Structure 1
């Protein structure tokens, strides 16, 4: 009986992950600036609701879906690099939430996915890239992270366990 309960739980998690990836695909079509879109909100939500690993998976696939729908403007290897960065940011978002609180997590993830992410691209594209991307990336990052936190907090605690 316990094995059946575990199987059912795994199916529910897999279904939720698939739905969040699909939601990332929809968010990937809502572009803010070039490949900056509303694709990461489901990944940040998954990091809080399901765990850091699931959040990393959803957010990295979400970025790749955005890159695909934009035609890989920064090149495939750079978008893979960004997807790995975003996976790390989702993991750290969950870590900050567990270690501190939701406010620190939102601020930390916004800074990481905004200015830090743009700064990490300077060796590849230069300071002009940073200057052009830092503001739209930071604004969209805050919107994605804030919405994920808001939705997570709106879910009753007993449903989160």
Structure 2
């Protein structure tokens, strides 16, 4: 007999919700932080992590970033945006895992740090490795504040929406 706690069961309902949340990510991808390509695309991914499960959230968040990159014309190159997509997916997964274990505030703080300063730092390093003209410390300094602020907005909105829905179900 298989232990159902070791994997997330795929259901038609979860796939349908995922599709709707990916569509909402596309809408969020159109709402960009002024002067940057940073957008409000990740809230549906963070929400999916706690509503549907961390794996679903990772997929929605990763695709949400890819949609933002596509609507911006992949300004930092496709390899760079694939790396950011992986970081988004990882952050959403960790957020969901920690939140579901009952550490709600900690999950928000960890996700904001992962999606803000740590992702900005890794992006700066990768951009340098890829020899992009805008990279290293310059890229980090340019994106760390708007990325952290957008992360805060997306993550807090996702957890607040989840708690509101959860209270309505009672």
TM-score normalized by structure 1? 0.89
Query: What displacement does 1:78 show?
Result: 0.4
Q: Could you report, residue by residue, the CA deviation over 1:35-93 in whole angstroms, capped at 9, with x for unpaired residues?
A: 21000000000000000100000000000000000000000010001000110001110
The number of residue pairs the alignment matches comes to 152
Query: What displacement does 1:155 show?
Result: 1.2
Partner of residue 140, structure 2: 130
Structure 2: segments with no counterpart, 5+ residues: 1-9, 128-134
Partner of residue 33, structure 2: 32
- Aligned pairs for 1:9-158 within 5 A: 10-33=11-34, 34-123=36-125, 124=127, 125-156=135-166
Partner of residue 4, structure 1: none
Structure 1: segments with no counterpart, 5+ residues: 1-8
Matched residues in 1 for 2:24 and 2:105: separation? 24
Query: What displacement does 1:99 show?
Result: 3.6
Matched residues in 2 for 1:22 and 1:58: separation? 9
Matched residues in 2 for 1:154 and 1:100: separation? 16
Query: What displacement does 1:11 show?
Result: 2.0
Task: State the Cα RMSD in Å.
Answer: 1.7
Matched residues in 2 for 1:78 and 1:130: separation? 14
Moved >2 Å (runs of 4+): 156-160
Matched residues in 2 for 1:42 and 1:115: separation? 21
